Amino acid sequence: MFSVYLVDDDTLILEELINMVPWLDNGFEVVGNQTNPVIALEEIRFLKPDVVFCDLKMPVLDGNDLIRQLKENGVDAEFVMISAYDSFENVRAFFKQSGFDYILKPVNEDDIQVVLERLNYKLSGKKPEKTAAALTENPGFNNLVKFVNENFSEKITLEILSKKFGFSKNYICGLFSKHFNTSLTCYLTELRMKHAKELLSDKNMLIKEVAVLCGYPEYYHFFRVFKLYYGISPKEMQSGMPE
C-alpha cells in the first residue's frame, strides 16, 4: 500500500478528491490532507508519503514552491500537480523539479485513473508477478481471484468484492499486494490488456468493440491505458500483427 497526501486550498475540491478517487482499489491510502500549504509542508515532512497531490495556485506558498521546499528538506516523493492553469511557465517549472504528472481541473476520473496506474507501476518497480491461475493458501481469496479472472470485462471494485465475498476492502487490498505484488486495479488492467491483445489479432475487429469487451465502455480511456501498457496505440498493434 502506498501513501498519499493531498493539498488544495479549496475545501470542496479536496473533499471531492478524497471521496471520488478509488484510492484503495489502486493500492493507495490517503494519510493526510490540508488546505493550508504551510501546515502541509510540516505534515508532509513528518509523514513522508510516497505521493503528494497538490494544487498550483495557493496563498502564501504555491504548488511549485511547496515542492521545492519539500525536496530541499529531503522529502523523496512523487509529485502530481492538479491545477486549473496550464501556462507553459507553470508546467515547465513543475517538470523541471522532476514532477510526475500535471492534471488539469476539473479533474477527469479517467485521467486520474491512468496517473494512479502509472504511479503504482513506478513505485512497485514492476508489473504484477502473476495473474490468471495462481493459487494461494487462502481458499476464499482463490475464489475471489477466480471471479475476477472470469469477469474482468465487468465493473469490479473493492466495494463489490467486499460485499460478494465477505472480506474487508483493506484485507482484499492486502492480499493482492501480498500474492501478486500489485493492486486490484493494476491486476485487472493486466487481464484486460492481455485480452485486448488477443482480440486485436482479428484485423476485422473494431477497436471500440475491443474496448467494450475488455471492460472499457469509454474508448478514450481504453486508448490511454493501452498505450501506457504497450507503448503503442491499439490501431498500431492491430496493423502490425501478422495475418
Mean of pLDDT over the chain: 89
Predicted local confidence at residue 242, as pLDDT: 60
Contacts of 182 (CB under 8 A, 6+ apart): 27, 120, 124, 127, 128, 129, 176, 190
Average pLDDT over residues 47-65: 92
Q: How many CA atoms lie within 13 A of 129 on its CB side?
A: 10
Closest by CA to 121, choosing from 222, 214, 2, is 2
Looking at the predicted structure, is the pLDDT value of residue 198 above 90?
yes
Give φ, ψ of 78 to 5 degrees: -90, 140
Cα separation values, 69 from 97, 147, 226, Å = 11, 46, 36
pLDDT-based confidence at 220, cuts 50/70/90?
confident
Q: Residue 92 carries which side chain, given as an amino acid letter?
A: R
- Is residue 215 within 8 Å of 152, Cβ to Cβ? yes
Contacts of 213 (CB under 8 A, 6+ apart): 153, 195, 199
% of the chain exceeding 70 in pLDDT: 95
Predicted local confidence at residue 137, as pLDDT: 83
pLDDT-based confidence at 148, cuts 50/70/90?
very high
Looking at the predicted structure, is the pLDDT value of residue 131 above 60?
no
Average pLDDT over residues 18-47: 94
Is residue 18 classed as helix, strand or coil in its secondary structure?
helix
**What's the grid cell of residue 66?**
511547496
Sheet holding 28-34, edge to edge: 28-34, 2-7, 51-55, 78-83, 101-104
For residue 160, what is the enclosing H or E element? helix 158-165
Closest by CA to 158, choosing from 32, 21, 30, is 21
Looking at the predicted structure, is the pLDDT value of residue 184 above 90?
yes
% of the chain exceeding 90 in pLDDT: 59
Which domains are delineated in the chain? 2-124 (3.40.50.2300), 126-243 (1.10.10.60)
pLDDT digits (tens, 9 = 90+) for 151-169: 999 999 999 999 999 999 9
Predicted local confidence at residue 88, as pLDDT: 77
124 versus 26: the higher-pLDDT residue is 26
Burial class for 189, CB neighbours closer than 10 Å (0-12, 13-18, 19+): buried
Burial class for 135, CB neighbours closer than 10 Å (0-12, 13-18, 19+): exposed
**What's the grid cell of residue 215?**
471492460
Rounded to whole angstroms, the Cα distance separating 164 from 78 reads 34
pLDDT-based confidence at 218, cuts 50/70/90?
confident
